[in-house]
Structure 1
Amino acid sequence: MVRVGQRLGKYRLKRRVARGGFGDVYEAYDTIEGISVALKIPLGGSVKPEQLDDFRREVRITAKLEHPNILPIKNADFLGDVFAIVQPLGEQSLDDRMSKRMTLERRLDYIDQMLAGLAHAHERGIIHCDIKPDNMILFPEGRLRLADFGIAKFARKTINASASGSVGYMAPEQAMGKPSARSDVFSAGLVIHQLLTGKLPQWPFEWPTEGKERLKVLHPDLREFVRRALEVETRKRFRDAVAMYRAFKPVKRKALRYATERRTKKS
């Protein structure tokens, strides 16, 4: 069993920071470089052949993505008998950050960065399949990086796959085993709705959703942007994160200007 305080190669495990369905993430100290990193390790430390294939696929997919809003991999190797993926260590997840107050400017900036990273993946034919606040890691100076491509798929169109993903953030068609880039769009829409209102929409995702009072004070184009992302019918959504990000840019400018004008009128 892997435990805090243990030494794995040049890394000393300091604390466990997260647990997922495939493995644990530890904060570890690199005794050579003198920095703290994140170590993703299979549950229990041991890895079965089929699990190794999953981790190898995650590494190879992530290695194809070089973008400031995607969490890179520093190394992936066996440390003794334990397989580990080494990545930069962030300060907290977006899920942690959402429990604290944020300005609209900050929320829109996080949305911008999330969509920029996801659009980069979609441009390369990679669908993430697990978009949620836990998989968005925050770094100093407000940098957001999309993480955990553990169940990502290479796909240009809808594909048949197991219904893998996170309950609460999964598009309806993904839950039926037919994910596509539009499924990531839907999941991103759920995160955006949660960021803007503090409420996570629930099935059957009827519009207007819970949190509509907070949406009412936002620019109409921003409300429409969120509504379109959360269309249950896939063909009515943005076709992928590239189109979604392109549409968000002017909406973001309008929303910021609208919010500034509202504050000015109130004062």
Structure 2
Amino acid sequence: MTSVPSDPLIGQTLDGRYAIRSRIARGGMAMVYLATDLRLERRVAVKVMHEHLAEDANFTRRFEQEARSAARLSHPNLVNVFDQGHDLGRTYLVMEYLPSITLRELLKQQRRLTAEQSLEIGEAVLSGLAAAHGAGIVHRDLKPENVMLADDGRIKLGDFGLARAVSANTTTGQALLGTIAYLSPELVTRGVADARSDIYAFGIMLYEMLTGAQPFVGEQPMQIAYQHAHSDVPAPSLQSAEASPALDSLVLWMTRREPDERPRDAGEALESLRGIAGAEAGSGSTRVLPRIADEGAPTPATSVLDPAQRWALAGNADDAATTVAPAVEPGVEPARAPAPIDRAADAGRARRRRGRIIAGFAVLLIATAGALGWWFGQGPGSQVTVPDVAGQEIAAAQAALEEHALVVTLAECSSLEYPAGQAAETEPASGSRVDRGTAVQLCQSTGPQLLPVPTLVGLSLDEARALIEDQRFTVGEVLEQRFSDDEADTVLAALGANGDALGDTYPELGTIDLITSAGPVPDVAGLTADEATARLADSSLTVDPAVGAESYSADVPQGSVISLLPQTDPMRPGDSVGLEISLGPELFPVPDVSDLPLQEAMDALSAAGFTPTTLVPDALRSFAKATGTDPAAGEKVAAGTEIRIRSTISL
């Protein structure tokens, strides 16, 4: 039941406060994680810059700029930013956690949206964008992926990763930023962006919501960019019956190729969109949208939207088909709409018919809903959803399951994602629909699985690394090299994360660090001091004259190295050593044995460490007396040197 996390940040705690639980999403600049704010006891989203980008000052500056830009904004339709920091070598941003799907995911599910859905989402996006524009901030990456549709119905705009403060125009530098399908013509041709560039991107997004497709497509990004720069966006009504004339005008106004011909900012665009959205309720909005004249230039509309038109634009699913402009082929001018009074009368009659039908169905639905509610809520057909308790303390997890009328049994399992003692998973899995009273096995994490440790000492470094990975551990660092009798890069020791030697078992994916051999200590005996220093330098050892010594040696010539004088045990590359230099053999003075009986003279020389010799036969030595030596008395010679005694014989 062990699962390997996607990256090592899961389970870590940033700045002692944000405990990383799981990964939510991956972007071009950063990874987004679900985390727990241990101080405020709430779930947050933590956006962590990719490690390889953290070394780039430009990317770091842009990432921190996002934090500053977003923190300046506070609006119900914008994702809140709580904190920003740097820990574990990572730069991160703490944001509001929003269980949601993106507008892109909704479009994939439904293909296209109704006019009512499009207006509701569009109003929320423009409201948040208007707050940003009011603060002097351009988003520059508006697209469905950055629109969050929360589970509780909230709609929020997020990801200000490309946002920056703006005075008049904001240049993008050498490369275009943002998604190519939503880039404005001025970004493509001149590389500059302002609030009107965001309006263009929103117009493309509104077109896509209504039609289910982007206005410009191509096999290569440059083909799409070329169309943005040189082609007008077509009216959405050519592809979708959901698009009314007013929505056509709004889309075409916001996507004009010349920035000066678009709304000046999201506030102005929002005012126009609200006029359309409020039309069905008879809001009396007098907002006039530009309409596209025959020559294609935007001109003011000549009348306020009538009630029937407002109803159609509000996206009513029952009668929209009878009130919105039908799709027409490109190049064919749509038929002129009926008079406002006629449309209002038709809409009123349609509402009355629909009201009578709805009233009849309502009675039936209430009765049916009551029966179904009893059956599935309290009766035999009732089921519950197994809650997600992973990461909770085991007692809290058990209580949460029992609150759903489930019978809990405990089991233990290893887990890389959740620390020992926490709930890891359930069987059936969270999200499953089961009957009340169903037995659910709650798995209590015992931490990572303990695996047998292979024998690494004696292997080469490459062999050890391959074996560590093969046995499902993590290769750590070579902590140090030591001189030894083994060949270079032979593993001498394997250590755990705490720096101690490994035992028989070790946690799965645990990091194993290594100590390796630097090879044998260089043999410098018999070399001159200069030769020895050069040879030691080749092995990254330095000679420290302050720790050197000189000694007599009968075997090593004077001036040559007798041995190394280590300063550390064991020795490592980079250490300092001393040299023991030979003074040659030690010399001793020859004692004066003149006038001593020959035998006494020989005994005296032997006691002084020399080898005495004489030409006097043994039988006559008692009659002989020493008269001198060769070498002479007082001359210094090495111990063991042969000393010839001169003598006379007296009979």
> What is the TM-score of this pair, normalised by structure 2?
0.38
Structure number with higher relative contact order (C-alpha < 8 Å, ≥ 6 residues apart): 1
| Structure 2 residue aligned with 1:206 | 232
| Structure 1 residue aligned with 2:75 | 67
| Structure 1 residue aligned with 2:179 | 166
State how far apart, in whole Å, the 1-side matches of 2:137 and 2:245 are.
Answer: 31
Tell me how far 1:122 sits from its aligned partner: 0.8
Structure 1 residues 220, 209: CA separation in 2 closer, same or farther (over 3 Å shift)?
A: closer
The structure that has the greater radius of gyration is: 2
Tell me how far 1:198 sits from its aligned partner: 0.7
Tell me how far 1:209 sits from its aligned partner: 5.6
State how far apart, in whole Å, the 1-side matches of 2:268 and 2:213 are.
Answer: 25
Tell me how far 1:240 sits from its aligned partner: 1.3
Tell me how far 1:138 sits from its aligned partner: 2.2
Tell me the alpha carbon deviations over residues 110-147 of structure 1, each in whole angstroms, 9 at most, x when there is no partner: 10000000011111111111111111222233211111
Superposed counterparts of 1:100-119, under 5 Å: 100-101=109-110, 102-119=113-130
Structure 1 residues 184, 207: CA separation in 2 closer, same or farther (over 3 Å shift)?
A: closer
Q: Which has the higher strand share?
A: 2
Tell me how far 1:34 sits from its aligned partner: 4.3
Structure 1 residues 194, 182: CA separation in 2 closer, same or farther (over 3 Å shift)?
A: same
State how far apart, in whole Å, the 2-side matches of 1:164 and 1:24 are.
Answer: 19
State how far apart, in whole Å, the 1-side matches of 2:53 and 2:20 are.
Answer: 16
2:200 paired with 1:186 = yes
Q: Which has the higher helix share?
A: 1
Structure 1 residues 6, 167: CA separation in 2 closer, same or farther (over 3 Å shift)?
A: farther
2:48 paired with 1:44 = no
Tell me how far 1:103 sits from its aligned partner: 4.5
Tell me the alpha carbon deviations over residues 131-174 of structure 1, each in whole angstroms, 9 at most, x when there is no partner: 11111222233211111112212113223322211121111211
Determine helix, strand or coil for the equivalent of 2:152: helix
State how far apart, in whole Å, the 2-side matches of 1:99 and 1:125 are.
Answer: 33
Structure 1 residues 46, 129: CA separation in 2 closer, same or farther (over 3 Å shift)?
A: closer
Determine helix, strand or coil for the equivalent of 2:85: strand
Tell me how far 1:96 sits from its aligned partner: 1.5
Structure 1 residues 253, 65: CA separation in 2 closer, same or farther (over 3 Å shift)?
A: same
Determine helix, strand or coil for the equivalent of 1:87: strand
Determine helix, strand or coil for the equivalent of 2:193: coil
2:64 paired with 1:56 = yes
Structure 1 residues 182, 94: CA separation in 2 closer, same or farther (over 3 Å shift)?
A: same
State how far apart, in whole Å, the 1-side matches of 2:95 and 2:310 are.
Answer: 34
| Structure 2 residue aligned with 1:18 | 25
* Range moving further from structure 2, 223-232 or 205-214: 205-214
2:245 paired with 1:245 = no
- Which of 300, 320, 325 is equivalent to 1:262? 320
Tell me the alpha carbon deviations over residues 48-104 of structure 1, each in whole angstroms, 9 at most, x when there is no partner: 233332222111111111111111112111233322111122212221222223553
Aligned residues: 266
- Which of 124, 131, 135 is equivalent to 1:124? 135
Amino acid at match of 1:98: L
2:210 paired with 1:196 = yes
Report the RMSD for the aligned CA atoms in angstroms. Answer: 2.5
2:249 paired with 1:221 = no
Percentage identity across paired residues of the two chains:
26
State how far apart, in whole Å, the 2-side matches of 1:2 and 1:78 are.
Answer: 18
Tell me how far 1:35 sits from its aligned partner: 3.6
2:101 paired with 1:92 = yes
Determine helix, strand or coil for the equivalent of 1:164: coil
